[in-house]
C-alpha cells in the first residue's frame, strides 16, 4: 500500500508542530511557534459571535464576503495609498498560508524556478515542491540579515517565474528597506517576473521602521500579489483569515487554485476581521509599542544570559547565535531545551538549504506576556 506521494518527499512534520508538541509534553514555555498569549479585540470577537448567531454560517462567495473585501481594499488605501478593486483585485483565503499555496499552485509550472529569501518560511518550500517547482534561495546572513542584491541577480535563470518575498521577514526580523525593494523590483521588471509578497507582519514593525509594500514601487502594481492575514495584525492566529490583493489576472490565478483547496473560507469570521481592519491608528500603535517592549525585554534578557542577539526590526521573533554559550547546533539545542530547561524555541536550520548558515541560530518568539518572558528567562538562566 502506498502511504505518501513523492510530492511530500522530505517535507516531514513542520518544525512548529514538533516543537509545540514538545512544549505540551514537557510543560514548557512555548517561545517557539509564533502566536500571542493575549486575546485580540473584544468587539471583534463579539462581531464573530453575532455572525455565528445571526445565520452567517453558509458558504461565502469564492473570493470572500463583500464587506471583508471592501475592508481589505480600504486598508490598502488607508495605509499605503493603494487603489484595489474589491470585486476583482481582492480575494479572501484560509490564512495567508492558503494565499501562498494558491499563488504558487496557480502560477508555477513543473520545472519553474522560484526565488525565495533564505531563511524561508517553511510552507514556501512545501508548496513550491508540491507545484513541481524549484526553489532558488538567496540567503540573508548574520549579523545584519540584509538582502545580498548581487546574489539575488545571480539567482535568476531563464526558468525563473517568481520571487516569493517576505517582509517583515520571518525568522530574521529584517524589514526590507526601500533601496532593497527597488533592487528586487528592478530584477523583477528586467526579467518579467511575478512577485508574491508575504506581508503578514505588515503592522508589526519597531523603532519607527515602516513597512513598504513592494507593489507601491513604480512598475510593480501589475506584477505583484500581496498577501496578508488577520492573524498577526489582530492577534487571532487561529482564525486563519488571510487575503491576497493585486492585479485581477494574478488574483484570478490564486483563486483558480484556492477554489479547489477549500472552495471558500470561514464565513462568520470574515465580518469580524472586516471590523478589525477599521481599527483606529491608536490600536495599531499600541500593538506595535507593546510588542516592541516585549522584544526589548526578551532581547535584553537573552543578551544578559550571554547569547549573541540580533534585534529584529519587525515580526514576533528575535534570533540568537548560541555559540557564546558553548553550543553549536541549533536543532540539537532546541531538542534539548524543553526537557532540560522548560522552554521551547525554533532552530533556524529548518529554514535553510545552506544548513551551515543556519546551524548556530535559534529563533525566540516574544509575542508573550512580560511575566511569561521573565519566567522563560529565569528558566534559561541555568544555561549560563
Does 16 sit near ligand GLN (CB under 6 A)? yes
**Among 248, 235, 274, which residue's Cα sits nearest to residue 69?**
274
166, 205, 233, 294: which one binds ligand PMP (CB under 6 A)? 166
281 burial level (CB within 10 Å; 0-12, 13-18, 19+): exposed
76, 106, 115, 121: which one binds ligand PMP (CB under 6 A)? 121
Does 22 sit near ligand PMP (CB under 6 A)? no
Q: Which of ligand PMP, ligand GLN, none has residue 33 at its interface (CB below 5 to 8 Å by kind)?
A: ligand GLN
Does 86 sit near ligand PMP (CB under 6 A)? no
Taking CB under 6 A as the binding criterion, the range among 91-99, 188-196, 218-226, 289-297 that sits at the site for ligand PMP is 91-99
Contact 120, 137 (CB under 8 A): yes
Sheet containing strand 90-94, strands side by side:
90-94, 241-245, 224-229, 194-198, 160-166, 113-118, 134-139
89, 198, 202, 321: which one binds ligand PMP (CB under 6 A)? 198
Torsions phi, psi of 121, nearest 5?
-65, 135
Contact 275, 47 (CB under 8 A): yes
**Interface of this chain with ligand GLN, residues 162 to 221, rule: CB under 6 A:** 170
316, three cell numbers: 514576533
Q: Is 51 or 126 the residue whose CB approaches ligand GLN more closely?
A: 126
Q: Which of ligand PMP, ligand GLN, none has residue 16 at its interface (CB below 5 to 8 Å by kind)?
A: ligand GLN
Q: Is 105 or 217 the residue whose CB approaches ligand GLN more closely?
A: 105
28, 30, 33, 160: which one binds ligand GLN (CB under 6 A)? 33
Does 170 sit near ligand PMP (CB under 6 A)? yes
Does 34 sit near ligand GLN (CB under 6 A)? yes
Q: Which of ligand PMP, ligand GLN, none has residue 242 at its interface (CB below 5 to 8 Å by kind)?
A: ligand PMP
Contact 194, 162 (CB under 8 A): yes
For the chain, how big is the Rg over CA atoms in Å?
20
Cβ-based neighbours of 311, under 8 Å, separated by 6 or more: 173, 295, 299, 318
Amino acid at each position: 500500500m502506498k502511504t505518501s506521494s513523492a510530492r511530500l518527499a522530505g517535507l516531514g512534520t513542520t518544525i512548529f508542530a514538533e516543537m509545540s508538541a514538545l512544549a505540551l509534553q514537557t510543560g514548557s514555555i512555548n517561545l517557539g511557534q509564533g502566536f500571542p498569549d493575549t486575546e485580540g479585540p473584544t468587539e471583534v470577537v463579539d462581531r464573530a459571535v453575532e455572525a455565528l448567531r445571526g445565520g452567517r454560517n453558509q458558504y461565502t462567495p469564492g473570493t470572500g464576503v463583500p464587506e471583508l473585501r471592501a475592508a481589505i481594499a480600504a486598508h490598502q488605501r488607508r495605509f499605503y495609498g493603494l487603489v484595489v478593486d474589491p470585486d476583482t483585485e481582492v480575494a479572501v483565503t484560509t490564512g495567508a498560508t492558503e494565499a501562498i499555496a494558491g499563488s504558487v499552485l496557480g502560477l508555477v509550472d513543473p520545472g519553474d524556478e522560484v526565488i525565495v529569501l533564505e531563511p524561508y518560511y517553511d510552507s514556501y518550500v512545501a508548496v513550491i515542491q508540491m507545484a513541481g517547482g524549484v526553489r532558488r534561495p538567496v540567503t540573508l546572513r548574520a549579523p545584519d540579515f540584509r538582502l545580498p542584491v548581487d546574489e539575488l541577480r545571480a539567482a535568476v535563470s531563464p526558468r525563473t517565474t517568481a520571487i516569493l518575498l517576505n517582509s517583515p521577514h520571518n525568522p530574521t526580523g529584517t524589514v526590507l528597506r526601500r533601496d532593497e525593494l527597488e533592487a528586487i523590483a528592478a530584477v523583477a521588471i528586467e526579467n518579467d517576473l511575478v512577485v508574491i509578497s508575504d506581508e503578514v507582519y505588515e503592522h508589526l514593525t519597531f523603532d519607527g521602521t515602516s513597512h513598504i509594500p513592494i507593489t507601491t514601487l513604480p512598475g510593480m502594481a501589475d506584477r505583484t500579489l500581496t498577501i496578508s492575514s488577520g492573524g498577526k495584525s489582530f492577534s487571532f492566529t487561529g482564525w486563519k483569515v488571510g487575503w491576497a490583493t493585486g492585479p485581477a489576472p494574478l488574483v484570478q490565478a490564486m483563486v483558480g487554485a484556492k477554489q479547489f483547496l477549500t472552495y471558500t473560507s470561514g464565513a462568520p469570521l470574515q465580518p469580524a476581521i472586516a471590523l478589525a481592519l477599521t481599527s483606529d491608528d491608536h490600536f495599531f500603535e499600541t500593538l506595535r509599542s507593546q510588542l516592541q517592549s516585549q522584544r526589548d525585554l526578551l532581547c535584553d534578557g537573552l543578551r544578559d544570559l550571554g547569547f549573541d542577539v540580533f534585534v529584529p526590526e519587525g515580526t514576533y521573533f528575535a534570533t540568537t547565535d548560541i555559540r557564546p554559550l558553548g553550543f553549536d547546533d541549533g536543532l540539537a539545542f532546541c531538542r534539548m531545551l524543553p526537557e532540560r530547561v522548560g522552554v521551547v524555541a525554533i532552530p533556524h536550520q529548518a529554514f535553510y538549504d545552506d544548513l551551515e548558515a543556519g546551524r548556530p541560530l535559534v529563533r525566540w518568539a516574544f509575542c508573550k506576556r512580560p511575566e511569561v518572558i521573565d519566567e522563560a528567562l529565569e528558566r534559561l538562566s541555568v544555561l549560563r
